[in-house]
């Protein structure tokens, strides 16, 4: 029924559906209303979960960058920092 957009795209899709539903003034049976509700809830829950996952990934990357900066200040080589953090050598050199 709805295309997969992920993240805020999915929320936008759900919001647009609700707005258009109200404009069209469609009357659903209780069973149809429940299906629409569950579909929209699924879209919103998926978008929320994806947002949490993206936030965790961004946090891990930021943490690695912060540790790499401290290592660089302590005088560790770019090769050692790359090995310990998993960042690329170019990322380490750009810090």
| pTM of the full structure | 0.52
- Structure tokens given for 75: 């005088």
State the average pLDDT over residues 63-74. 92
The per-residue pLDDT for range 43-62, each reduced to its tens digit, is: 888 888 888 888 888 899 99
pLDDT-derived band at 32, boundaries 50, 70, 90: confident
């Amino acid at each position: 029924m709805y295309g997969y957009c992920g993240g805020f795209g999915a929320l936008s899709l759900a919001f647009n559906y609700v707005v258009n539903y109200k404009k069209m003034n469609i009357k659903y049976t209780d069973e149809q209303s429940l299906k629409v509700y569950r579909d929209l809830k699924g879209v919103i829950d998926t978008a929320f979960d994806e947002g949490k996952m993206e936030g965790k990934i961004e946090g891990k990357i930021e943490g690695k960058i912060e540790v790499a900066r401290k290592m660089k200040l302590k005088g560790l080589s770019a090769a050692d920092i790359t090995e310990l953090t998993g960042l690329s050598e170019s990322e380490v050199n750009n810090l």
